Structure 1
Amino acid sequence: MTTTAVATNTRVELLAGRSWTSVCDWDQLVPGRGVAVLLPDGTQAAVFRDHTGRLYSVANRDPFTGAYVLSRGLVGSTADGRVYVASPLLKQRFDLATGECLDDETVRIPVHAARLGAA
């Protein structure tokens, strides 16, 4: 999907438990930047859109520091095209599609299913 194909009143939804939860407007997502959202169970997620218009969501908690800051991280991509967010604190990179830490293969963060819904 590309950003030009998305209506301005479109909402971003995350799968929370067994139901989809509306978390923010598509227009609030600046390509390459994240937003933090609160899910119904009290956990935080970080939502991103990349420069091609793809939507991603991962846990907002940095597993190395325990701080809820991943939504403030920088989005980039590896030479082989893996899109990641780099933690703003210690700079570990997390694959936005899988949650895998690209700098420590023993660490992984939760990934949330995300989709576009109607406003």
Structure 2
Amino acid sequence: MSQHSTLEWTVVCPLDRLDPDRGVAALVDGVQVALFRTADGLFAIDNRDPVSGAYVLSRGIVGSRAGVPTVASPLHKQVYDLRSGACLDLPGVAVTRHDARCRDGLVEVRLRRED
């Protein structure tokens, strides 16, 4: 099992700047993060699509599969679980998931990095 280190929370933007069910890219401590606001909450994953290598996941299609909040890559349409980062179409493929929260009306992200 891999180890993760967590960093400090970083303020990204006011919550009202995030449109429901649309992604937005943000640079957090040098990492491109895709942020999503859905009915299920706030989610943050790496913006880099692990299949194509392109930084496009923030432009993906937000949806759900069997009640799981998801985003589909705009390039090859692989679907990722926003809660875990796991690809639901390709076993063993995943995108790094980061912590996201709203505090005092501000969206904050805490990166998770492989040790």
Percent of aligned pairs sharing the same letter: 50
Q: 1:90 to 1:31 in 2, by over 3 A?
A: same
Q: Does 1:55 align with 2:49?
A: no
How many residue pairs match? The answer is 101
Distance, in Å, in 2 between the alignment partners of 1:105 and 1:26 is 33
Distance, in Å, in 2 between the alignment partners of 1:17 and 1:102 is 25
Question: Following TM superposition, by how much is the alpha carbon of 1:34 offset from its aligned partner in structure 2, in angstroms?
Answer: 0.5
Aligned match of 2:14: 25
Aligned match of 2:109: none
Distance, in Å, in 1 between the alignment partners of 2:74 and 2:13 is 22
Distance, in Å, in 2 between the alignment partners of 1:98 and 1:53 is 13
Segments of structure 2 that go 5 or more residues without pairing to the other structure are 107-115
Segments of structure 1 that go 5 or more residues without pairing to the other structure are 1-15
More strand by share: 2
Question: Following TM superposition, by how much is the alpha carbon of 1:38 offset from its aligned partner in structure 2, in angstroms?
Answer: 0.2
Q: Among residues 47, 54, 72, which one is paired with 2:59 in the alignment?
A: 72
Amino acid aligned to 1:62 = D
RMSD: 1.4
Question: Following TM superposition, by how much is the alpha carbon of 1:85 offset from its aligned partner in structure 2, in angstroms?
Answer: 0.3
Q: Among residues 37, 56, 59, which one is paired with 2:26 in the alignment?
A: 37
**Matched-pair contact (CA < 8 Å) for 1:31–1:53:** no
Q: TM-score, normalised by structure 1?
A: 0.80
Distance, in Å, in 1 between the alignment partners of 2:41 and 2:87 is 20
Higher relative contact order (CA 8 A, sep 6+): 2
Q: After TM superposition, which residue ranges in structure 1, 4 or more long, deviate above 3 angstroms?
A: none
Amino acid aligned to 2:81 = D
Amino acid aligned to 1:60 = N
